[in-house]
Structure 1
Amino acid sequence: MSKTGLTYYQAETDRFQDIKIKRLKKRFGCQGYAVYNYVQNEIYRVEGCFIRFTDDQAFDCAEYWNIDEEEVMDIINFCADIELFDAVIWKTRGILTSREIQRRYTEICRRAKKRMFIPDEIALIEDERIETAQPEPLPLFADEAVETVSGTPSYGQPELAVPQNSAELRGIPRKPAENPDKEKKNKINPPSIPPQGGGKLEEEVHKLRSRLEGTPPLSPTPPDDGIRRNPTGILERLQQLRIPPKEIEQLLLLCRYGEIGHPIWALLEDIRKSKGRITMPGRFLLARLKAS
C-alpha cells in the first residue's frame, strides 16, 4: 500500500501577502506563523489533506518550537477563526483542513498520478475531487488499488497484465494468437469491485447473498428518499477490510447503504487509525452500530 501523505507540497510565493497570514503574525508574532506552518506540513505529510489534531500533536508542536501547549491551541483556534482552517470541521470533529489545502492536495496528486483520498465527511471541494478521483489502473496491476468517485480506495488481487508484444512496439504487427495465460488469470482472480467504481450495488449485494445457504436475496436498491448516500464506496471499504459477506450485508442495512454522515464513516476511520489493532473489524462495527 502506498504512502497516504505527500513527500512534498507547494508553497505560493505571495503567501506573506495574504491578509490572513498578516493577521496571524500581528496577533501571535513569528510563533503564530511557525505553528501554522508546522501544522500545515503535518497535514500534507501524514494524511495528505487533513489531520486529527489531538493533545499529542499539540505536545509535539509545542516541544518543537519550545512554547506552551496552551499557546499552540490558542494559535490553532485563531487560525480557524480567520479561516486558515475550516472552523466548522475543527470545532465539530477536531480535524484541521481547509478548502485551499484540499485543492492543493488534489492538484499535487493529479500531477504525480497519485491516488487521492478525501473522506466524505470533511470534503470541501466535492466537484473537483470527483473529477480527479478516477485514475486509470496501472498497466502492471489490472486490479490494483484505485480511487473511486467516493474518494475511497478499492483494493483487489494483484494481477499481471499481459504486456504488448515487443514486435508491436517496434511497429511490426503482432500475430493474432491470444495469450491463454491472461484469460486463465482473469478467471482465477476476477476483480471484486470494478476499478472505477462503476459496478452496481445490486450486483455486488447479490453476489454476497449468493454465498450464503438457501437465504433469499436482500433488496439491493437503496430507498429513493433524497438522502445522500455512497453505497459503492461503503461496500468497497468493507470488502477492503476482508469482512465476511454476511456481516457486510448487516452493515449495509445498519448504515442505510452508506448514508453520508452516518457514524460508520467515523468508525471506519478509527479502524484505519488502529493500524491493525482491531483484528475483527466486522464485529467491531456491528457492536458499535447496534449499541448506538
Structure 2
Amino acid sequence: MPRIKKRGLDYFPIDIDFIHNRIVRRLMKREGDSALAVLIEAFSYIYAGEGYYVRTGELFYEDLSANMYEKSSNDVKRIISLAAEYGLFDATLFSEHNVLTSAEIQRQYLFSTRRRTVSAIEPAFNLIPPTETVTSEPETATNTPENVTPGTHSIAQNSIAEHSTEYPPQDSPSGGPGGEAEKEEIFLEKEETSCSQTACTQPPKTGRTDRNTQRKEWTNAEIDRLQPPADGLQRNLEGLIYNLRSYHVPLPEQYAIICKSNFGIIGHPMWKGFGEIRESHGKIRQPGRYLLSLCNK
C-alpha cells in the first residue's frame, strides 16, 4: 500500500522577536495576554494541516477556544479577525474566502518542504510574487525528517523597534574602471578566497588568479548542499540560509557568510546582526556586507 503523502509540517519555527512584534503587542494590549495563545494555536493549525493555510469558520473558532481557559469562540474569532486586519494574515483572502495565510507562512512552508517531490501553493491562495523563487529539491533518501527546519520564522515584516541607528550611505554602483562594481568584485574575491581556507567541507571553488578569470557563479542548489563539519558544535545552517534569502543576500555573499560564521554556529555575532538589520528599517541597504563585517570582527 503506498504511503500517504503528508502535507503539513511536524513543527514550525518562530522568530525570537515574535512576542515583541508590534502587531502582536497591539493585539495583546487590546485582548489580553491570552491573545498570544490564540495566535500560536492558529499557526499550529495552519502548519499542521495544509501546511500553509487553514479555512476558518465557526467550527474552527470552536476548536481553538476548546483549548483556551478564558476565551470563547467569539473571542477567538475577534482576535483572528483583528490579526488579519492588522496585517499578520492576508486580509483579502480572509475576508473573501475565510482563508488564513500570509506570504511569510507560504515562504516558510516551501522552504520546509523543499525536499519533497511535490510542494506547491494553490494559485488562488498564492501570495508570493511571480518574480520570487523558493528553492525546491527532489526528496532523497536521508535520515533527516523532510520538514525539519531549525530556522527562524519571521511572522511579520514590520519591525517592533521604534528607533533605528543611522548607517553611512552606500556609494552608488558604477561600472567604470575603478568604480563600485570593480570594488565589489575585488571584495567578494577576497572574502571567498578567505572562506576557502576555513573548515568548509565542500570543495572550494576555483579561485581567480587574475581579473580576466571569471569567478565561480553560485546557485541556490549548491548553497543548499553545503554541509557543516561533524564536530558536535550546535549550528543552525538551514535557519541561516533562510534568513539570508529573506534579505536577498547575493549568493557569493551567502557562501562567505556561511563559512565565516562556521556554518551558522549558535552565538555568533552574525545572528545579532539580523536583528539589527530588521530594526534599521531598510537603512542597512547591503545586509550581506553588513553581516560579513560582523564576521570579520
- TM interval, shorter chain, is 0.3 to 0.5
More helix by share: 1
Tell me the TM-score normalized by structure 1.
0.44
State the structure with more CA Rg: 1
Tell me the TM-score normalized by structure 2.
0.43
